């Protein structure tokens, strides 16, 4: 046993020092009250016994700490070397370095299957028909910045349901701008012989559903001039709050950069809790790697992709393999 002396004018401070420095390994052997000279101030001297094994243990710990630091050092240098590799892979795949690192695709020989595994754990594809609703008709609200293709996509979805599933739909346009910009929806409605209603006051919302006695689905389309006006979103939300049940679907253009998608998502998600997603204009985008990253990182349930102006044909219902294939990650 090693014996150590600890001195302090205050007994509590002395005990604190022992506790801090030697922890539970310390054994107090003796406490002495002393004076340096006859009339000098008193102080305490604590004799502490420490088992050799724990001193040795601490030394062993130090050694293993040193080894760990060396290993960490080596790993950091290795990472620096991999930076070039990371850059190259990012350019080659269109995926950000950020996600390649998160997925641990670098440094790995088998980066493809590592990235595949990472993405497939986060991506989700859902068919509109499989979403359970408590109420009827099922109300689907299409949200997104102006020009992303909300109105066209609503028409495509209604067309698909009608032609492929023999299920009828209706359209509601919330015209918060009193702009009367509903002609486009009316044209689609007329072409498919499906009803279109325009709502200009929130309290009309629930009542308007009664105007679609045959519809299984009602697609609510929103009009906006400036998607940056958060006030407009809360106004749209007021209309939807009148409804018993509805699901919001965010539509974003595949040509956007990931940061732009994230910004738009956060902006809409603040007002609506976004769970479902449609990626539009895939035909115009150079690739969809960024969009796929965005979908994965936000754990969005993707309902469809759109890839052209033709209604209702340019609509895809991809599964995991389709999408992984589209970003060059097929098996
Ligand atoms: N290339 C392409 N154009 C699309 C697609 N979806 C919609 N559009 C076009 O984008 C424009 C805006 O669409 P619209 O549905 O009015 O957008 P909204 O403002 O979000 O309702 C129209 O010219 C559409 O034909 C798509 O998937 N690919
Ligand atoms: Mg529109």
173 lines ligand 1 (CB under 6 A): no
Average pLDDT over residues 42-51: 86
Q: Ligand 1 atom closest to Cα of 224? A: 19
* Residue 13 pLDDT class (50, 70, 90 cuts): confident
Confidence of residue 14 (pLDDT cuts 50, 70, 90): confident
User: Which residue from 248, 247, 265 is spatially nearest to 256, judged by alpha carbons?
Assistant: 265
Domain chopping of the chain, boundaries: 2-50, 71-120, 126-326
Cβ(53) to ligand 1 under 6 A?
no
Class level of CATH domain 126-326: alpha beta
Q: What is the pLDDT of residue 83?
A: 82
**Core vs surface per residue 78-107: b (16+ CB within 10 A) or e:** eeeebeeebeebbeebbbbeebbeebebbe
Does 309 sit in the ligand 1 pocket, CB within 6 Å? Answer: yes
Testing ligand 1's pocket by substitution, the residue of 152, 154, 158, 184 carrying the most ligand atoms inside 8 A of its CB is 152
Which residue do the tokens 């939300």 mark?
237
Which tens digit of pLDDT belongs to each residue from 265-318?
999 999 999 999 999 999 999 999 999 999 999 999 999 999 999 999 999 999
Kindly state the tokens that stand for 220: 């609510």
Question: 159 CA distance to ligand 1 centroid (A)?
Answer: 15
Q: Ligand 1 within 6 A of 308 CB?
A: yes
Directed axis angle between helix 258-271 and helix 230-240, to 10°?
50
255 lines ligand 1 (CB under 6 A): no
Grade residue 167 by pLDDT with cuts at 50, 70 and 90: very high
Pocket test for ligand 1, best of 143, 149, 222, 304 (most atoms within 8 A of CB): 149
146 lines ligand 1 (CB under 6 A): yes
Number of the ligand 1 atom closest to the C-alpha atom of 156: 6
Atom 22 of ligand 1 has which residue's CA nearest to it?
A: 149
| pLDDT tens for each residue of 95-107 | 999 999 899 887 7
Listing DSSP states for 213-257 in one string gives TT-SEEEEEE--S-TT-HHHHHHHHHHHTTSS--EEEEEEETTS-
CB 257 within 8 Å of CB 290: yes
Cβ of 149 less than 6 Å from ligand 1: yes
For residue 81, pLDDT over 70 is answered with no
Confidence of residue 228 (pLDDT cuts 50, 70, 90): low
């Amino acid at each position: 046993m090693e014996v150590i002396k600890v001195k302090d004018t205050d007994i509590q401070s002395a005990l604190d020092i022992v506790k801090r420095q030697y922890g539970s390994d310390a054994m107090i052997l003796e406490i002495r009250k002393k004076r340096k000279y006859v009339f000098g101030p008193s102080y305490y001297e604590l004799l502490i016994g420490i088992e050799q094994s724990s001193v040795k243990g601490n030394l062993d710990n130090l050694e293993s700490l040193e080894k760990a630091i060396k290993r960490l050092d080596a790993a950091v240098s290795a990472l620096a070397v991999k930076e070039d590799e990371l850059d190259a892979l990012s350019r080659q795949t269109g995926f950000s370095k950020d996600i390649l690192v998160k997925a641990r695709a670098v440094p790995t020989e088998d980066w493809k299957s590592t990235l595949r595994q990472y993405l497939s754990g986060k991506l989700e594809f859902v068919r509109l028909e499989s979403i359970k609703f408590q109420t009827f008709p099922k109300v689907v609200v299409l949200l997104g910045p102006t020009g992303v293709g909300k109105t066209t996509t609503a028409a495509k979805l209604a067309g698909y349901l009608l032609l492929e599933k023999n299920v009828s739909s209706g359209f509601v346009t919330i015209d918060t701008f009193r702009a009367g910009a509903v002609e486009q929806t009316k044209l689609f409605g007329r072409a498919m012989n499906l009803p279109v209603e325009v709502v200009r006051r929130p309290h009309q919302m629930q009542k308007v559903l009664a105007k679609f006695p045959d519809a299984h689905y009602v697609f609510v389309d929103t009009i906006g001039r400036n998607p940056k006006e958060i006030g407009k979103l809360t106004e749209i939300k007021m209309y939807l709050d009148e409804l018993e049940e509805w699901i919001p679907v965010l539509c974003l253009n595949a040509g956007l950069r990931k940061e732009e998608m994230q910004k738009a998502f956060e902006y809409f998600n603040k007002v609506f809790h976004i769970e479902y997603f449609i990626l539009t204009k895939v035909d115009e985008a150079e690739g969809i790697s960024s969009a796929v990253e965005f979908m994965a990182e936000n754990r969005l349930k993707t309902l469809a992709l759109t890839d052209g102006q033709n209604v209702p044909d340019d609509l895809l219902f991809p599964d995991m393999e389709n999408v992984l294939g589209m970003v060059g990650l097929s098996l």
